[in-house]
C-alpha cells in the first residue's frame, strides 16, 4: 500500500527540533547536578527506559530475550549503546556543554566508515572528505598541546579533565556509530521496544556494577539534585520518543540535518545558563563537524531517493 503522508507538513521536522531541545535541556540539567556521578545518572536514565518499554513488550508480546539468532546482536547493541550514554554523560560533566555536543555530531561520519568495514557498504571519496572534516572539528575542540601549545584557553577546569572528556565523547561517538551498524545488521527483524529493553537492562547492570566498584553509589543529598535526576530521565525519554515519531513520518535525511539544532541549543544554553562563552576554536570545530554530518546525511538521502526512483521504474 501507499505510505501515509503526515497530516501536517513539517510535523516530523518539528518533532526533531523538539527532541533536540529536550535532549539539550537534559544535558544542561546534568551540568547543574553537583554530587551525583555520571554513571549513577545513567543508571537512573536506564530505570526510566525500562519503565517505559516494559508495557510495550507486554502489549506486543515480543518476549524479553528476542529471536535466538539475534540475541548476540541485541547484547552488543545494549552494551555499546549504554556505554555510549555513560561516556557522553561523563563528557558533559567535565567539559563545556557545546564542545561535548559537537563531538557527538561526528557520529554519522563514523557510522559510514564502520558500515563500510563491517557491512561492506559503499564508501566514496566524499565520505572520506567528510571524515577528515569531522576529525578536524574534533581536533579544534580538543586542542592538543603539541599542536596548540601548553596554554589552552576557553576550557572548564584543568586541561586534563578537558582531554578526558574529549576522549570520552569520541569513544561515545564511536560506540554510538557501532550501535547504528548493529541496528542496520538486524534490520526490522527485531522490534524497536526489544532493542531499547536490552539497552536499558544491560546499561543498568553495568552501571550498578561500576558504581559498587568505584564506591560511588549514593542518593543525592540535595533535593534539587533528586529533582534534576527525575527531569533528566523524563526529558531523555521524551527526546527519544519525539525523535522516533519524527523518523516514522519524515525521511531520515531531513531529520538528520534538522537534528543539528542540538548544537545550536547547546551553544545558547551554555551562554545563557552556564555563563560560558564558546571560543572561536569551538565555533570552528562545530562548523567542521556540522558540515561533515550534514553532508553525510544529504548524500545518503539523495542515494535513497535515487534507489527508490529506480525501484519505481
Model pLDDT for residues 58-77, shown as the tens digit of each residue: 888 888 887 888 889 889 98
Query: Looking at residue 2, what is its pLDDT?
Result: 42
Number of domains in the chain: 1
| 3, part of any domain | no
Q: Does residue 6 fall inside a structural domain?
A: no
Assess if residue 1 is contained within a domain.
no
Task: Give the residue from 195, 229, 266 showing the smallest Cα distance to 39.
Answer: 229
Residue 112 has pLDDT above 80, yes or no: yes
User: What is the average pLDDT across 291-304?
Assistant: 79
Whether residue 155 is predicted with pLDDT greater than 50 in this model: the reply is yes
Q: Is residue 95 part of a domain?
A: yes
Residue 67 has phi, psi (to 5 degrees) of -60, 145
| Residue 37 in domain | yes
Average pLDDT along the chain: 82
Which DSSP state fits 123?
-
Lowest mean pLDDT of 5-9, 196-200, 295-299, name the range. Answer: 5-9
312 or 269, greater pLDDT = 269
Residue 18 has pLDDT above 90, yes or no: yes
Cα–Cα distance measured from residue 175 to residue 173, given in angstroms and rounded to the nearest whole number = 5
- Does the pLDDT value for residue 6 go beyond 50? no
pTM of the model: 0.81
Give residue-wise pLDDT tens across range 32-49: 887 788 888 888 888 888
* Domain span including residue 69: 11-312
Q: What is the mean pLDDT of the segment spanning 79-91?
A: 90
152 φ, ψ (degrees, to nearest 5): -110, 125
Q: Tell me how far apart the alpha carbons of residues 80 and 87 are, in angstroms, rounded to a whole number.
A: 10
* Gap between the Cα atoms of 132 and 125, Å rounded: 11
Examine residue 115 and state whether it is found in any structural domain, yes or no.
Answer: yes
CA dist., res. 43 & res. 236, Å (int):
13
- Domain membership of residue 4 (yes or no) is no
Encode pLDDT of 179-210 as tens digits: 888 887 877 777 778 888 888 899 999 998 88
Asked if pLDDT for residue 52 goes beyond 50, the answer is yes
Torsion angle of the four alpha carbons 84, 85, 86, 90, in this order, in degrees rounded to the nearest 10: 100
* CA–CA separation, 169 and 165 (whole Å): 6
Within-domain flag for 237: yes
Angle, nearest 10°, between helix axes 71-94 and 97-104?
150
d(CA 70, CA 189): 8
Amino acid at each position: 500500500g501507499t505510505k501515509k503522508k503526515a497530516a501536517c507538513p513539517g510535523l516530523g521536522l518539528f518533532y526533531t527540533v523538539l527532541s533536540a531541545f529536550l535532549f539539550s535541556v537534559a544535558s544542561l540539567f546534568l551540568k547543574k547536578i553537583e554530587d551525583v556521578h555520571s554513571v549513577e545518572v545513567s543508571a537512573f536514565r536506564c530505570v526510566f527506559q525500562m519503565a517505559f518499554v516494559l508495557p510495550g513488550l507486554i502489549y506486543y508480546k515480543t518476549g524479553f530475550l528476542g529471536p535466538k539468532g539475534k540475541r548476540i546482536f541485541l547484547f552488543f547493541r545494549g552494551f555499546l549503546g549504554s556505554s555510549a550514554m555513560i561516556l557522553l554523560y561523563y563528557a558533559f560533566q567535565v567539559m563545556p556543554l557545546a564542545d561535548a555536543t559537537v563531538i557527538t555530531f561526528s557520529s554519522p561520519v563514523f557510522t559510514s566508515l564502520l558500515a563500510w568495514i563491517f557491512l561492506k557498504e559503499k564508501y566514496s571519496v566524499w565520505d572520506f572528505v567528510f571524515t577528515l572534516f569531522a576529525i578536524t572539528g574534533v581536533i579544534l575542540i580538543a586542542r592538543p598541546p603539541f599542536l596548540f601549545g601548553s596554554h589552552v584557553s576557553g576550557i572548564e577546569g584543568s586541561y586534563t579533565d578537558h582531554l578526558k572528556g574529549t576522549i570520552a565523547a569520541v569513544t561515545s561517538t564511536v560506540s554510538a556509530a557501532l550501535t547504528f551498524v548493529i541496528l542496520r545488521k538486524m534490520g526490522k527483524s527485531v522490534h524497536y521496544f526489544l532493542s531499547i529493553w536490552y539497552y536499558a537492562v544491560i546499561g543498568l547492570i553495568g552501571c550498578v556494577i561500576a558504581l559498587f566498584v568505584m564506591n560511588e553509589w549514593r542518593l543525592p543529598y540535595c533535593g534539587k539534585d533528586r529533582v534534576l535526576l527525575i527531569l533528566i530521565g523524563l526529558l531523555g525519554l521524551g527526546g527519544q520518543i519525539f525523535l522516533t515519531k519524527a523518523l516514522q513520518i519524515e525521511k531520515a535525511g531531513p531529520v538528520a540535518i534538522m537534528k543539528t539544532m542540538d548544537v545550536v541549543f547547546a551553544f545558547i544554553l551554555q551562554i545563557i545558563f552556564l555563563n560560558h562563552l564558546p571560543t572561536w576554536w569551538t565555533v570552528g570545530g562545530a562548523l567542521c563537524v556540522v558540515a561533515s554530518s550534514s553532508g553525510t546525511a544529504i548524500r545518503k538521502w539523495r542515494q535513497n531517493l535515487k534507489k527508490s526512483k529506480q525501484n519505481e521504474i
